[in-house]
């Protein structure tokens, strides 16, 4: 099934069930008010949502309405945990190489995982608000999994059973601040503003054959200012699958339901597949030409992230964001003034 959160003015929004074709939706009000509430009692709630989802897809649901991603918050507008992993190690290898270093060998056993802020997760069309254009604004097109409770020390097989939902994510980072923070040795904090998510979260079964070995076997499209810059295959070159990422995250502590783990920017070894974050493009330029050529994002720039299935249909709906300065006020729409004489 496909789930989304409607912006109804509350902090957690209203849980809705969305049709497979993303054209219509129905409020899940009588079942669970919010997605977190559904996750809190998934074994009891999910079958009820599933029934509603079947009715909707069969055209038998009542009080349906047109689905509009612009009315969506993040599926979880605030969550109890968000962490971004680096599931594509050759990307990390490139990055370290460009910095003149080497990737620590431990990365092959333990996927690099960065704790992120989860108090403010953005909806798919929310602006990326940044105070300073010179901070090196970058996107990071990736996949994310939402887990149920995961016990400490869970094996990858255990962890696999705890994957509840998949989403797309845009892990925005401020690359120039990140460099400073890495030198300081405290991890990323200021360099990680709010992360955005796709309009829709889907249960893995929605992916059919494309969900194999805890990986999604479809390309992820990233467009920057309307130009397609990346379409790497998510399942290819993914060093750690979701089961391994979750098991690693739970290696020293349990994870509670609603935990979101991202793969980090999707990246294929084949450079013709393009890039999911500008940093990767700049690394390739640095290796080839000695210095980066492509600039980071500017105010007014847009980024669109979407995944199409084998039939060319959008699975999660699109993340479609614009970079804006703090305090940006959109221009008033032009109003046709009728002249009365």
Residues that bind its own copies in the complex, under the rule CB under 8 A: 11, 40, 78-81, 83, 86, 104, 106-107, 110, 112-120, 129-131, 135, 152-153, 174, 177, 180, 182-194, 248-249, 251-256, 258-259, 326
If the CB atoms of residues 187 and 208 are measured against its own copies, the closer one turns out to be 187
CB within 8 Å of 10: residues ≥ 6 apart: none
Indicate the length of the chain as a whole number.
341
Least distance CB 263 / its own copies (angstroms): 15
Q: Where are the alpha helices (DSSP H) in the chain?
A: 35-40, 42-57, 89-98, 156-160, 175-184, 242-249, 278-289
Closest residue by Cα to residue 164 from 279, 258, 60, 281: 258
Region of 163 (left: φ > 0; alpha: ψ -120 to 50; beta: rest) is beta
Pair type for strands 319-325 and 128-130? parallel
From the CB of 327, what's the least distance to its own copies, in Å?
A: 9
191/239 with CB nearer its own copies? 191
Residue reference for tokens 């460009």: 98
Which of 59-76 are b and which e, b meaning 16 or more Cβ less than 10 Å from the residue's Cβ?
eebeebeebebebbbbbb
Q: Shortest CA distance to 276 belongs to which of 84, 68, 3, 70?
A: 84
> Smaller CB distance to its own copies: residue 57 or 80?
80
Q: How far is the CB of 251 from its own copies (least distance, A)?
A: 6
Of 83 and 207, CB closest to its own copies: 83
Q: Which is nearer to its own copies, 193 or 230 (CB)?
A: 193
Q: How far is the CB of 230 from its own copies (least distance, A)?
A: 23
Q: How far is the CB of 305 from its own copies (least distance, A)?
A: 20
Give the 3-state secondary structure of residue 40.
Answer: helix
Burial class (CB in 10 A: 0-12, 13-18, 19+), 210: middle
Shortest Cβ 135–its own copies spacing (Å): 8
Q: Are 137 and 128 in contact (CB under 8 A)?
A: yes
> C-beta of 243: minimal distance to its own copies in Å?
17
Q: Give whichever of 117 and 271 is closer to its own copies, judged by the CB atom.
A: 117
User: Which one, 118 or 142, has the nearer CB to its own copies?
Assistant: 118
């Amino acid at each position: 099934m496909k789930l989304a959160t409607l912006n109804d003015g509350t902090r957690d929004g209203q849980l809705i069930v969305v049709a497979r074709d993303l054209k219509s939706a129905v409020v899940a009000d009588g079942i669970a008010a919010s997605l977190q509430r559904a996750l809190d009692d998934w074994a009891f709630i999910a079958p009820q949502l599933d029934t509603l989802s079947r009715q909707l897809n069969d055209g038998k649901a009542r009080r349906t309405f047109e689905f509009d991603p612009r009315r969506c918050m993040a599926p979880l507008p605030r969550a109890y945990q968000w962490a971004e992993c680096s599931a594509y190690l050759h990307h990390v290898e490139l990055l370290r190489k460009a910095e003149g270093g080497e990737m620590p060998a431990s990365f092959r056993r333990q996927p690099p995982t960065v704790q992120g802020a989860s108090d403010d997760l953005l909806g798919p069309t929310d602006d990326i608000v940044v105070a300073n254009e010179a901070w090196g604004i970058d996107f990071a097109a990736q996949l994310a999994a939402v887990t149920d409770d995961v016990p400490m020390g869970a094996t990858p097989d255990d962890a696999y059973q705890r994957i509840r939902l998949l989403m797309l994510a845009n892990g925005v980072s401020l690359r120039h601040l990140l460099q400073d923070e890495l030198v300081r040795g405290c991890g990323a904090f200021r360099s990680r503003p709010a992360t955005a998510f796709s309009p829709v979260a889907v249960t893995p079964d929605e992916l059919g054959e494309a969900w194999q070995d805890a990986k999604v076997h479809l390309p992820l499209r990233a467009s920057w200012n309307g130009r397609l810059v990346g379409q790497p295959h998510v399942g290819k070159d993914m060093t750690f699958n979701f089961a391994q990422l979750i098991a690693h995250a739970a290696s020293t502590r349990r994870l509670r339901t609603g935990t979101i783990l991202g793969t980090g920017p999707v990246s294929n070894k084949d450079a013709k597949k393009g890039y999911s974050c500008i940093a990767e493009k700049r690394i390739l330029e640095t290796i080839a030409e000695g210095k980066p050529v492509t600039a980071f994002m500017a105010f007014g720039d847009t980024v669109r992230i979407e995944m199409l299935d084998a039939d060319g249909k959008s699975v999660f709906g699109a993340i479609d964001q614009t970079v804006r300065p703090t305090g940006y006020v959109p221009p008033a729409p032009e109003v046709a003034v009728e002249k009365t004489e």
